[in-house]
A = this chain, B = another copy of it.
Amino acid sequence: MPRAASTQERILIAYEDLLLELGERGATLEAVASRAGVSKGGLLYHFGSKEALSSGLVERLHRLTDEDLVLMMAAPAGPVDYLIRTSIDASSPLDRALIATSRLAQAADARAGEALASIRSQWLAVITEAVGDPATARAIVLVSDGLYFNSAMRGMGTPDPADVSAEGIDSLLTVLDRFSTPSVD
């Protein structure tokens, strides 16, 4: 049973760090342990194998997603605004866990891929309810996917692909508003 923020938490955050910075290949047990300030033996005491470590990350992602869904459904500016803005951020614990898990999914980790698919379908359900039209909702979630994809690229050896400045977000939300309100023809 995971208690409050402790060694387990530090290890998982270190794992995320290395997945984001170096990819799945660079997130070795020794590197994760070193980043978390423990020895490899200490890491393996808490997570008995690398698979257990990735399972821990996926569980953490599910937990953070459940918390986030509550916030999203209660967002003052609506779920669409909330989803798009948090898709751009990429610095919150959820976003970090999400991108880290997508790295695992790219490395053929079935559990990670299923987790991402599950989260995506939960988002799609909320957005569909918010905007009414399923096709529009899918387009919005696809934009969110695209933003995450670009966030995942940034911070590696890549010049930032999409302009996501403050006014960029607003203009994007304006466009999406046109998506969901077909009053203009």
Interface of A is mostly: helix
Question: Does A82 touch B at the CB level, under 8 Å?
Answer: no
Determine which residue in A21, A23, A152, A176 has the highest number of CB atoms from chain B within 10 A of its CB, and name it. A23
Question: Does A47 touch B at the CB level, under 8 Å?
Answer: no
Chain A interface residue count, CB cutoff 8 Å, equals 56
Q: What mask results when residues 100 to 144 of chain A are scored 1 for a CB within 8 Å of chain B, else 0?
A: 001101111111011011001100000000000101101101111
Determine which residue in A109, A136, A148, A161 has the highest number of CB atoms from chain B within 10 A of its CB, and name it. A161
Q: Are B25 and A153 in contact (CB under 8 A)?
A: no
Question: Does A178 touch B at the CB level, under 8 Å?
Answer: yes
Closest residue of chain B to A178 (Cβ to Cβ) is: B179
- With beta carbons under 8 angstroms apart, the residue of B24, B25, B139, B160 that contacts A143 is B139
Q: What mask results when residues 139 to 177 of chain A are scored 1 for a CB within 8 Å of chain B, else 0?
A: 101111111111011001111111100001001101110
> Can you name 13 A-B residue pairings with CB atoms under 8 Å?
A21-B108, A24-B25, A108-B156, A116-B158, A120-B161, A120-B162, A142-B162, A145-B145, A145-B147, A145-B150, A149-B149, A178-B178, A178-B184
Interface residues of A (CB under 8 A from B): 21-26, 102-103, 105-111, 113-114, 116-117, 120-121, 133, 135-136, 138-139, 141-150, 152-153, 156-163, 168, 171-172, 174-176, 178-179, 182, 184
